[in-house]
Amino acid sequence: MYLNKLGFLFFVFLFPLMGQTKSDQKCSSLFECEKKAELTSIHRKKITFLSIGINEYSKNAPIHSILPLYFKRAKSIILEAKGETGYTGEIVLKVSHKPEYKLSQLQKAEEDINFIDQNKSNCSIEQIKELDLLKGMLDDSK
């Protein structure tokens, strides 16, 4: 009886914690969020980390520090909306999304691209070229 209760407590409280990895945990700074996004190839995770960085840590950051996060997030959103997951291995995993989801994701990417465009004066020459590529990717995805 005692072992049954102990087993039950293990599955209820400890088992869910065992599956969590450090990458599943929230980031604690703009730099850490960007770094965690770079360490994963999975677009959904990249978007999550970059969104946390932008939403929680960009308020007092200089614009040149947050622009790279917008570039990376817009690119990952577009790729994810097109069905690319970012999973790597023997099989390339692609998914198809409902048109409504794809449209809402592309609108989010467009918002990021518009933010970058509004701050174009803070972009390097390479970033301006990348902005043009993102605009092309967005147009091709619609």
Q: Domain range for residue 87? A: 26-114+123-137
Give the count of domains, the chain. 1
Confirm whether 16 is domain-assigned.
no
Confirm whether 12 is domain-assigned.
no
The residue among 72, 65, 55, 44 whose CA lies nearest residue 131 is 72
In degrees rounded to 5, what are phi and psi of residue 40?
-115, 150
Two tokens, residue 120: 């174009």
Two tokens, residue 137: 């990717």
Query: Within a 10 A sphere around the Cβ of 118, how many other Cβ atoms?
Result: 9
Helix ranges (DSSP H) in 58-96 = 63-81
Confirm whether 9 is domain-assigned.
no
Helix and strand numbers, DSSP H then E, in the chain: 7, 0
pLDDT tens digits for range 78-105: 999 999 999 887 877 778 888 999 999 9
pLDDT tens digits for range 8-49: 434 434 444 444 444 456 899 999 999 999 999 999 999 999
Question: Which of 90-94, 107-111, 138-142: highest mean pLDDT?
Answer: 107-111
| Whole-structure pTM value | 0.80
Confirm whether 17 is domain-assigned.
no
The conformation of residue 14, written as its DSSP 8-state character, comes to: I
Confirm whether 40 is domain-assigned.
yes
Confirm whether 4 is domain-assigned.
no
State the first-to-last Cα distance of the chain, in angstroms, to the nearest integer: 60
Q: How many residues does the chain have?
A: 142
